[in-house]
């Protein structure tokens, strides 16, 4: 399944692994969700190379949306840099080793039947009482990519070392696989308040790129920061995950071709070079976005397995199935025309 998103994305923080403090809302939470927002993702195996480059997305229909502060989603506080489309002027910002001074992205999907967007699952239990029994039905699946240690164009996410340890971590590029019940109770897959389970895995893969880069043969760590700060251009984030996983802990959302699900997306950016903070992020909607997973064109499916023996075709089909969910996110930023809302702190939490 290929899914192309043209959105600004935000990152989900987790105090458990030292990301950010809990989010803080301003006033009572209210949401007038945009009911016209809907994403359709067609199953098209074998069309996308997961490298952060956007060339192979040119024939995939895009989705765009206005960007509103996640904690105060009023139209008058809309992100003024513009909607996310194929190309949005944006300034390059990267500080090696400091995730909070680099753009970060996150995706969230409901798992449990009672999982809400607001309060990231909506379980009312605190950190001393939240667990798989007291918060049953409120599970959400989270992918978070923070690029401070990730080389552009290189693949991050699930790897033999972290998966061998039985958790959803990524010690190399911080593209991690998590689950949660509310903003105070978020954990890497395979870990949690009831103890660790060796079956936990990171099922995501991802890469990032910026259009100002003039090297296409490949970067290495010594090339950091890869280009000079302030270069105008577009950020690209590309992710993949199997439709179905081997999860038996209720920590991964499961998807079916022809079925429907929901998702949420958001973005954090280091404004004027300053570290971003937990509440200073934007989301696409103040509620879940419907996600329809449609069968791809039969001609495309046939083309992806044509020309070879049955064993070879099956092997490639299996290989391509690893890229079942592909998300290409074009992130742009206009530093000269952005206004972040001033948020008065009040105890409370949003969904992303």
Look up tokens 């239990």; give the residue: 125
Task: Give the tens place of pLDDT for each residue, 127-142.
Answer: 999 999 999 999 999 9
Determine the Cα–Cα distance for residues 297 and 323; give it in Å rounded to an integer.
17
The reply to whether CATH 1.10.3330.10 applies to domain 2-337 is: no
Provide mean pLDDT across the span 184-208: 93
Report which of 187, 179, 183 is spatially closest to residue 124, judged by C-alpha positions. 183
Q: Which of 76-90, 269-283, 317-331 has the highest mean pLDDT?
A: 269-283
58 pLDDT exceeds 60? yes
Higher pLDDT, 91 or 245: 245
Kindly list the domain boundaries of the chain, sorted by start residue. Answer: 2-337
Rounded Cα distance between 136 and 138, Å, is: 6
Count CB-CB contacts under 10 A for residue 319.
Answer: 11
At 14, list the tokens.
Answer: 């987790």
Residue 69 confidence (pLDDT) above 70 = no
Whether the pLDDT of residue 22 is over 60: the answer is no
Cα–Cα distance, 234 to 330 (Å, whole number): 7
The average pLDDT across 157-161 equals 96
Segment 121-131 mean pLDDT:
96
Quick one: average pLDDT of 313-329?
38
Q: Give the per-residue pLDDT at 125.
A: 96
Among residues 204, 213, 206, the alpha carbon closest in space to that of 235 is found at 213
Q: What is the mean pLDDT of the chain?
A: 72
Taking residues 16-34, report their average pLDDT: 48
Cα 40 to its chain centre, rounded Å, is 17
Identify which has the larger pLDDT, 62 or 99: 99
């Amino acid at each position: 399944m290929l899914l192309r998103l043209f959105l600004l994305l935000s990152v989900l923080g987790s105090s458990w692994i030292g990301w950010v403090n809990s989010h803080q809302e301003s006033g009572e939470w209210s949401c007038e969700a945009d009911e016209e927002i809907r994403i359709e993702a067609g199953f098209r195996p074998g069309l996308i190379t997961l490298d952060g480059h956007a060339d192979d997305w040119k024939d995939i229909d895009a989705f765009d949306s206005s960007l509103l502060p996640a904690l105060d989603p009023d139209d008058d506080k809309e992100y003024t840099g513009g909607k996310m489309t194929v190309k949005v002027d944006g300034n390059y910002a990267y500080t090696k080793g400091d995730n909070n001074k680099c753009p970060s992205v996150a995706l969230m999907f409901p798992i449990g039947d009672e999982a809400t967007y607001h309060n990231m699952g909506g379980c009312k239990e605190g950190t001393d009482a939240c667990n798989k029994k007291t918060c049953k039905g409120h599970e959400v699946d989270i992918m978070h990519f923070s690029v401070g240690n990730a080389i552009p164009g290189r693949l991050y996410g699930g790897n033999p070392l972290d998966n061998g340890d039985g958790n959803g971590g990524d010690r190399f590029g911080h593209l991690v696989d998590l689950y949660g019940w509310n903003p105070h109770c978020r954990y890497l897959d395979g870990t949690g308040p009831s103890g660790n389970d060796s079956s936990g895995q990171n099922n995501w893969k991802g890469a990032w790129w910026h259009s100002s880069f003039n090297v296409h043969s490949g970067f290495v760590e010594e090339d950091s920061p890869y280009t000079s700060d302030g270069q105008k251009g577009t950020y690209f984030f590309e992710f993949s995950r199997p439709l179905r996983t081997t999860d038996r802990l209720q920590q991964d959302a499961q998807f079916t071709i022809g079925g429907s699900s929901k998702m949420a997306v958001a973005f954090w950016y280091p404004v004027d070079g300053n570290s971003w903070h937990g509440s200073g992020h934007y989301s696409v909607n103040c509620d879940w976005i419907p996600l329809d997973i449609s069968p791809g064109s039969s001609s495309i499916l046939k083309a992806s397995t044509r020309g070879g023996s049955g064993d070879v075709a099956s092997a490639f089909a299996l290989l391509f199935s690893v890229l079942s969910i592909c998300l290409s996110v074009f992130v742009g930023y206009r530093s000269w025309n952005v206004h972040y809302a001033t948020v008065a702190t009040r105890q409370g939490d949003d969904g992303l």
